[in-house]
Amino acid sequence: MNIFYDIPSESWYHTQENVELFAGAAAEEIGYKKDHLNQTLFPITVFPVARMLVVGILTSFNPKRESGLGGNLTLFRDLSLYLLKHGILTYAFTGNALHSEPLRGYVFSSETNKWIECKMPLPDIIYNRIPSRRYESSGEFERIINHIKEHRMFLFNPCFLDKYVMFEALREDEFLSNHLPPTTVLRNGECLNAFLDTHKHIYLKPCKGSQGKGIYTIIKNPDGTLLFNSLKHGESFPDFTSFWETQKRDLLKRSYLAQRAIIPKKLLGHRYDYRILVHYEKGFYKVTGKAVRMSQTQEITTHTPRGGKLFPYQSLQSRSLDLNLANIAQKCGEILSKKIGFLGEFSMDIGEDESGLLFIYEVNSKPMQFDEEEIEANRLLHLKNLFIELTFSNLTIK
């Protein structure tokens, strides 16, 4: 079967005579129309019969792009084309569109290699890929959430994760508490100085940061002097007071946490972290991708935008490591879903110390694309299966 969008009438049609087809959360009927000349066709196999699953990729507005869509358009394109091949109509849309009548979104056409604006049915599932934390904290986003609830659409991953909220939730679990570095919120100079006195070598991380942005390290030497490092430069201070007077303004204008530095196991003289991709599947959280990132130009973070490089996971793989990562993923998924709402997909940054103990550095509810093609292929497969599971199995997520 093919479906196509008729631009003059702003309507979706299918090409198979004597077949009824319904789509989306409101079960809107897609009619039959024989004539589809000069229209962009979207080959599709309906799953199940007479019911087409519709997925909406929620993002923000970007006036600098022709389509007006913000976020990772490469991911949106890859996901859209993959889902379409499996009978799932997928489009990207902004929050404002959800309140408009009719709802308008963008479907990616492989024929034209462009995003085509179309009138769209309400999605069964909204895949939250809004790239801005600020937007998620706005009144507009709150109205979007209320609209989603009113129309009984399923919100897939409700929000970004705050690092300290994550830490507080995970440390309540006895198993996970052994995989968390000592951590505290940076409230004032006194609490930071006390934490530094205890741990000597610490990280400062923005609670709402990502990709290594805004990260610092502080080392307190035996003589009381401090070494303060960012990703690009280092600075020495004779004591904590002089450090705090110089840096407090920058550190207090956004929410930071302080975390004990882990003495990392190294490869070829450089620190490394595991990057783990996780998806929900039939009641469990399954590790669907494993990668390694190794630092190169600095030893503070391993993120590739900060100079890190890829390293094959298979070179470090062991049965024990696989099992540990699987157990951590399962527990994290269970706990964070109870804390913030259903997480169908997330990634984790996990470090390993010199003794081989694993430490959770970060959990990301909106994973970026992996450079490893096999991981991305697996990701698309599991997202497709999960979208189908959530829509058609009458599953209740608790």
Query: At residue 229, does pLDDT exceed 90?
Result: no
Q: How sure is the predictor about 305, in pLDDT bands with cuts at 50, 70 and 90?
A: low
334: tokens are 């269970």
Query: At residue 304, does pLDDT exceed 80?
Result: no
Tens-digit pLDDT profile for residues 137-175: 888 889 889 988 888 889 999 999 989 999 999 999 999
170: tokens are 């995970």
Query: At residue 228, does pLDDT exceed 90?
Result: yes
What amino acid occupies position 140? E
Cα 23 from Cα 87, distance rounded (Å): 11
**Mean pLDDT in the chain?**
89
CATH 3.30.1490 region(s) of the chain? 183-260
Query: At residue 128, does pLDDT exceed 80?
Result: yes
Query: At residue 47, does pLDDT exceed 90?
Result: no
Mean pLDDT for 253-268 is 90
The strand pairing partners of 127, in sequence order, are: 57, 156
- Confidence (pLDDT) at 356: 92
Query: At residue 88, does pLDDT exceed 90?
Result: yes
- Confidence (pLDDT) at 197: 95
Mean pLDDT for 36-60 is 83
Whole-number CA gyration radius for the chain: 24
- Please state which of the four CATH numbers 1.10.3430, 3.30.420, 1.20.120, 3.40.50 is assigned to the domain occupying 2-156: 3.40.50
Q: What does 176-238 look like in DSSP terms, one character per residue?
A: HHTTS--EEE--SHHHHHHHHHHHSEEEEEETT--TTTT-EEEEE-TTS-EEEE-SS-EEEES
- Confidence (pLDDT) at 266: 87
Q: How sure is the predictor about 296, in pLDDT bands with cuts at 50, 70 and 90?
A: low
Query: At residue 82, does pLDDT exceed 70?
Result: yes
Query: At residue 8, does pLDDT exceed 90?
Result: no
Cα 4 from Cα 11, distance rounded (Å): 8
Fold of 183-260: Dna Ligase; domain 1 (3.30.1490)
CATH 3.30.470.20 region(s) of the chain? 163-179+264-392
CATH 3.40.50 region(s) of the chain? 2-156
- Confidence (pLDDT) at 397: 39
Query: At residue 303, does pLDDT exceed 80?
Result: no
Q: Percentage of the chain surpassing pLDDT 90?
A: 63
Cα 218 from Cα 234, distance rounded (Å): 10
Q: What is the pTM of this model?
A: 0.90
The architecture (CATH level 2) of 163-179+264-392 comes to 2-Layer Sandwich (3.30)
Cα 139 from Cα 131, distance rounded (Å): 16
SS3 of 285, please?
A: strand
Cα 120 from Cα 117, distance rounded (Å): 9
Tens-digit pLDDT profile for residues 175-227: 999 999 999 999 999 999 999 999 999 999 988 876 667 889 999 999 999 99
